[in-house]
Amino acid sequence: MLHLADLLEANEGLDYLDITRTSIDMVGAATICAAIRRNSTVQTLRMGDIAQFQVVESELPSHIGRMLQFNSTLQILDISKIQLRDEGMEIITDDLLKFNRSLTSLTISRCDLTSRNVLYDVHCMRNDRFTSTVTRSPVRGQKPSGNFSVKAQRLPS
């Protein structure tokens, strides 16, 4: 992952990065988020369904939040199937709304969020000129509270 992070920092042409379904660990994910913070070309980042974060609560939301604070070119972010939980999603939502103006699309699904948190996030995003679509999808073997999908799009100013 360190080599990928180095390439991201020196990159002048890559605008799409998909690390979905990889087996990166917390250090690797933190390194990628840090590299994207300083990257000025990647516009789409898909980092959903990362095996390490499907069952373990982690520091990943803080790294994603800091990435959103400092990156000004990322437009599309998919963080589906990562166990963010309510606390992690609040960190990401707060950093997104306070600091980031470039992100136009955020996709979150099956992240173990409660309906209270999903409604809070949607309310906050709507107040910041996002339009949100929330769906509840049944997933066999998962508890019902974590089966929400949120697709948020920033409205043109």
pLDDT digits (tens, 9 = 90+) for 98-117: 888 888 888 877 766 666 66
Of the chain, the percentage scoring pLDDT greater than 90 comes to 22
Mean pLDDT, rounded, of the chain: 77
Of the chain, the percentage scoring pLDDT greater than 70 comes to 64
Task: List the domain boundaries for the chain.
Answer: 2-154
Least confident stretch, 3-12, 28-37, 38-47: 3-12
The CATH number that domain 2-154 falls under is 3.80.10.10
- The full 3-state SS of 49-85, as one line of letters, equals CCHHHCCCCCCHHHHHHHHHHHCCCCCEEECCCCCCH
For tokens 């809070």, the residue is 120
Q: Select from 75, 156, 79 the least CA-distant residue to 121.
A: 79
Higher pLDDT, 94 or 39: 39
